[in-house]
């Protein structure tokens, strides 16, 4: 069984403002940019879709749209 990692960026989830006119996928994209920019261990695997959905409290579609913007 694969061990679950505790979200290192749990504070990012709190940063999402559901009342904001900025779409959630854009807010997630901005948080992901900050996370990638601060990534210190190039050998460490980044979070999976499942981990990101739990971290941000959004749907997988929202996470995928944010990731697509980054690609």
Q: How many CB atoms lie within 10 A of CB 58?
A: 20
Q: pLDDT exceeding 90 applies to what percent of the chain? A: 70
Give the pLDDT of residue 12.
46
Closest CA to 36 of 49, 45, 25: 45
Average pLDDT in the 31-38 region? 92
**Higher pLDDT residue, 63 or 15?**
63
Distance of alpha carbon 70 from alpha carbon 66, whole angstroms: 7
Report the length, in residues, of the chain: 71
Give the pLDDT of residue 15.
73
pTM, whole model, 2 decimals?
Answer: 0.78
22-44 b/e (C-beta count within 10 Å ≥ 16 → b): eebbebbbbbbeebeeeeeeeee
């Amino acid at each position: 069984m694969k061990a679950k990692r505790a979200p290192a960026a749990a504070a990012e989830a709190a940063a999402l403002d559901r009342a904001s006119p900025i779409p959630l996928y854009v807010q997630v994209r901005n948080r992901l940019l900050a996370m990638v920019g601060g990534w210190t261990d190039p050998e460490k695997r980044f979070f999976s879709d499942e981990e990101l959905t739990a971290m941000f409290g959004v749907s997988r579609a929202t996470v995928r749209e944010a990731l697509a913007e980054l690609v």
